[in-house]
């Protein structure tokens, strides 16, 4: 098993990479001029062609290498104190290394591994939050059964501390809300879209108007940017992708100027596949510091897990799954922020205690995993969900 380095910085970082990574069998892949698209969350690699990504680009070569890799290093530039979109993108595309089936591992709800554990490390350039980078490595590695190899600043002078920056809360009631769906999945199939449409029912009760822009459609980016810059209240709703913001959304954010035409308050609605609140805490930390870097105050983050099945379940179950969101829409309209005790409670359990893990595995996950199997069959999947297409 070898060490693979995905160098999104290209030639400029090569000497440092060679000096820092001294494992016996190392392969450095320069991804800077490779054709690599953002994961679009289509789920084909889990539910239609298990282990095979639907996007036919240069990442296919990388997946074939990952199957023989034990240690994976990402070499990346930074933005907003975190990986830039190019570094995050090569991790978001790693999904075929996991499979759809969910179970508990080391006390946490996780996807099962398709092949083997991967250790993850990070070499980063520029100003980033060192503590957050280290935590991201730990969390991402744990998701794929491995250990963190550490997060190393290529220029230690530029690392920044993990202290949250002060950002004033914007007073004033919300009259109009700009909502941006940050999911890379086309709106028609996006769970975020279903959550947004449920959330706005609560907003509408109070007479607030709203508009929606979808980042999955690049043609909507100009309008989304203009709305972001010219309105006071903005809500970005998005799914958790590999412990943080999807790379596509990071790319959009990096096109926004730091200066605004009008004062703004930026709030977030964050959801994801896993149930446990702890899953979302690193992303929450990232979001707390993001608005100040875009000239906005922070309006809080409303978080809830367990959203994966909105897409795969029955209409009746889906209606139940989105039912908690309208009251939160109404509350947001009344309070003007998510910085409320109700928001803190909405996230639910941080971690399932031991006895609940047993019960959830027996009574719920078995049913859920069968539901995934059936959904896959409906999509014409002919292989088992834990198939290993790249192993002879």
At closest approach, how far in Å is the CB of 39 from ligand FMN? 4
Question: Segment 261-280, which members bind ligand FMN (CB under 6 A)?
Answer: 271-274, 279
At closest approach, how far in Å is the CB of 372 from ligand FMN? 12
Binding to ligand FMN by CB under 6 A, coded x per residue (else -) over 174-213, reads ---------x-x----xxx---------------------
Among 268, 308, 346, 372, binds ligand FMN (CB under 6 A): 308
At closest approach, how far in Å is the CB of 310 from ligand FMN? 6
Binding to ligand FMN by CB under 6 A, coded x per residue (else -) over 212-241, reads ---------------------------xxx
Angle at 251 between CA 164 and CA 177, to 5 degrees: 70
CB of 159 or CB of 200, closer to ligand FMN: 200
Integer-rounded Cα Rg, in Å, for the chain is 21
Binding to ligand FMN by CB under 6 A, coded x per residue (else -) over 76-95, reads ----------------x--x
CB of 281 or CB of 335, closer to ligand FMN: 281
CB of 266 or CB of 274, closer to ligand FMN: 274
Question: Segment 34-53, which members bind ligand FMN (CB under 6 A)?
Answer: 39, 41
Among 130, 198, 297, 307, binds ligand FMN (CB under 6 A): 307
Binding of ligand FMN at residue 297 (CB under 6 A)?
no
CB 295 within 8 A of CB 264: yes
CB of 159 or CB of 187, closer to ligand FMN: 187
Binding to ligand FMN by CB under 6 A, coded x per residue (else -) over 92-121, reads x--x--------------------------
CB 9 within 8 A of CB 77: yes
At closest approach, how far in Å is the CB of 181 from ligand FMN? 7
Measured between alpha carbons, how far is 61 from 83 in angstroms, rounded to an integer?
22
Q: Return residues touching ligand FMN (CB under 6 A).
A: 39, 41, 92, 95, 183, 185, 190-192, 239-243, 271-274, 279, 305, 307-308
């Amino acid at each position: 098993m070898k060490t693979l380095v995905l160098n999104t910085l290209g030639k400029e970082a090569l000497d440092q990479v060679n000096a820092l990574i001294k494992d016996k069998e190392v392969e450095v892949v320069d991804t800077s001029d490779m054709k690599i698209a953002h994961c679009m969350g289509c789920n084909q690699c889990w539910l239609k062609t298990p282990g095979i990504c639907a996007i036919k680009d240069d990442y296919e070569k990388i997946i074939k290498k990952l199957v023989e890799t034990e240690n994976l290093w990402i070499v990346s530039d930074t933005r907003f104190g975190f990986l830039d979109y190019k570094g995050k993108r090569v991790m978001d595309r790693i999904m075929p290394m996991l499979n759809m089936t969910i179970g508990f591992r080391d006390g946490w709800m996780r996807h099962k591994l398709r092949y083997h554990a991967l250790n993850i490390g990070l070499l980063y350039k520029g100003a980033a939050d060192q503590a957050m980078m280290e935590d991201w490595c730990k969390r991402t590695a744990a998701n794929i059964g491995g250990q963190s190899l550490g997060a190393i600043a290529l220029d230690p002078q530029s690392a920044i501390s993990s202290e949250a920056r002060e950002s004033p809360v914007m007073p004033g009631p919300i009259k109009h809300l700009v909502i941006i769906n940050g999911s890379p999945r086309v709106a028609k199939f996006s769970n975020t879209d279903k959550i947004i449409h449920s959330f706005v029912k609560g907003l509408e009760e109070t007479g607030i108007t709203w508009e929606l822009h979808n980042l999955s459609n690049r043609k909507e980016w100009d309008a989304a940017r203009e709305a972001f810059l010219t309105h006071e209240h903005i809500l970005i709703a998005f799914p958790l992708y590999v412990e943080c913001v999807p790379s596509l959304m990071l790319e959009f954010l990096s096109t926004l100027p730091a200066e605004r035409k009008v004062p703004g308050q930026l709030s977030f609605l964050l959801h994801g596949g896993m149930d446990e609140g702890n899953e979302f805490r690193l992303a929450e930390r990232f979001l707390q510091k993001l608005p100040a870097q875009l000239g906005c105050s922070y309006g809080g983050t409303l978080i809830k897990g367990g959203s994966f099945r909105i897409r795969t379940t029955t209409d009746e179950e889906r209606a139940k799954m989105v039912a908690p969101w309208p009251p939160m829409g109404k509350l947001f309209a009344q309070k003007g922020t998510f910085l409320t005790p109700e928001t803190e409670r909405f996230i639910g359990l941080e971690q399932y205690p031991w006895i609940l893990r047993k019960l959830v595995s027996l009574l719920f996950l078995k049913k859920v995993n069968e539901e995934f199997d059936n959904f896959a069959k409906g999509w014409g999947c002919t292989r088992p969900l834990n198939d290993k297409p790249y192993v002879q």
